[in-house]
A and B are shown apart, each in its own frame.
Chain A
Amino acid sequence: MERIRNLFLVPYGVWLLLFVIVPILMIGYYSFFDIDGVLTLNNYKRFFSPTYFSMALRSFWYAALITVVCLVIAYPTAYFLTKTKHKQLWLLLIILPSWMNLLLKTYAFIGILGTHGPINAFLGVFGLAPRQILFTDFSFILVAVYIFIPFMILPIFSALEKLNPSLIEAAYDLGASHWVAFRRVIFPLTLGGVKSGVQAVFIPSLSLFMITRLIAGNRVITLGTAIEQHFLVTQDWGMGSALAIFLVIAMGLSMWFTERGRRVR
């Protein structure tokens, strides 16, 4: 029995080795080679040069902004969802658009934000001249928030669902106002959900590249865009790998941060 169970581990173990461990090691290996295949540390030096470093910082800044906006919109949404009748159905309706193909949703915004699109028509009602919305930082953040918001709503919703309602009632009985109950009881107890949501939004926002290409023109360059550029356009796999290593480090830090938070609880 035991031996058979260990046999079950074989395909999974092979998968882990071949598609998780080896690829990460190979990225690390490639990051030490330049475009001509010469062993070098130059890729890392280049990362800390002003061009790349400020690009990386800006990418982090955009990702943080997207995450915060998502959180601010998603938390009340999740909270109100738990109060509705047929909440499972409502939840399904909220996350249904997230199952629609990502590219198509992004494509819709090319029309919506365009010079003749409804947003500009709406601004026109107030006498504002048609302005360039597409290919700006704003459009990038807007579309990214739109894409990621269900991934923030979902974990917060399940955290709220798990929350024992008698704890909130106890807070009210003890004289807490709505705000105090929220700040001292509800929010701290759903922090796990918030953390999962942040994790589900922040790292993907760092690595987005198709939205930057389609919506933001080449105005916004995220780490993801830069990696894609190096791998598929300039074919400089070494530099692309070095950038990827920094993305992996960022990911590791965020995982460590959220995992640590969970263990404390």
Chain B
Amino acid sequence: MEITSTLFTAKAIYVGVIFAITLGVAAYSTYFERIIAAFMQDRVGPDRAGPFGILQPLADAVKMFMKEDFIPSQSSKWLFIVAPCLSMLTALMTSAVVPFGDKLDLGGDVFLDLQGIDVNIGILWVFGIVSLGVYGILIGGWASNNKYSLLGAIRAASQNISYELAMGLSIIAILMLSGSLSTKTIVETQQNGHWNILYQPLGFVIFIVCAFAECNRTPFDLPECETELIGGYHTEYSSMKLGFYLFSEYINMFISGAVMATLYFGGYDYPGYEFVLDKFGMNIAALLGVGALIGKALIFVFIFMWVRWTLPRFRYDQLMGLGWTGLIPLSMFNVVLTGATMLFTVNGEGSNWMTVLLSWAGVAVMLVVTAFYSQSQYKKKKLATA
């Protein structure tokens, strides 16, 4: 009884801390997005609120709350209010299965897993919640009773469904490697530097592209394409309801960064883990692991922003073409390639380097073959037209 209650308190504190970190990161993402945008355009960005402008998120929040909270008269009022909350809820729920660290020793044989819930369907949970996230956008667009909002919502829905397929297929290769859906197990199989990125270069590229699409970030931010749709699904939103939508986008970015780190970059693994474990004990090692995971996730957040301020947006047919005719066949090939490498190295002892070599060689061969094929097709077409 005593143990359970300590564990319960510890878990509650852990959940609170993760919640706070997620919100804090999301709030400061808005600031860093503007700073990074500015730097990439040779400007300095917001620098008025506090030193270096670090109080900017606070000022933005105050602004958001002070604005008029407008609800269009012809909208479905309750759905209109529920939609941004749903967006926020689903964004926050995803982090439950991300293992932020190893175990913490609380003394008296009580060990706290630094993970919300270790369900055996971990990664499927992420997928389920992410697909639910579309509802936030879809309901918001529908309830606004506005053509542009609805168009944006429909775009979001079809885009997310299209890219979820390729994402799921790229995950299958990970599952083949680790043999489990549990995110904890996936991370544990990657300890000591056996990061999945070494075995899954193609899978990672597919996953990150899909993650961009799932988060509605440039170059796939068609649901809020200003040039065509005014503001997309949040055209009619104002005040903190709009704030929730924008906020949930940044939370999604952070969480998808954490998921990518978990799946492909060893989760809370970091170089020198054994050394720290020996010298400073389990707790320090685990906490450093938390830092490592958050650091990796933040690097991904930076990449998200970097890409946003580099690339223009896709056209809608290009987006669909890339998803259905590009990424899905590629991810299927990736599954076959992973299977092949596993088959070839199944009897080899110390076959890790062999697996790495084969995975990269497979991708290279695929690229060369496709290049030659497309070149020959190109020549044929040219002959036909000439």
- A and B together in one complex: no
A-to-B contact residues, CB < 8 Å: none
B-to-A contact residues, CB < 8 Å: none
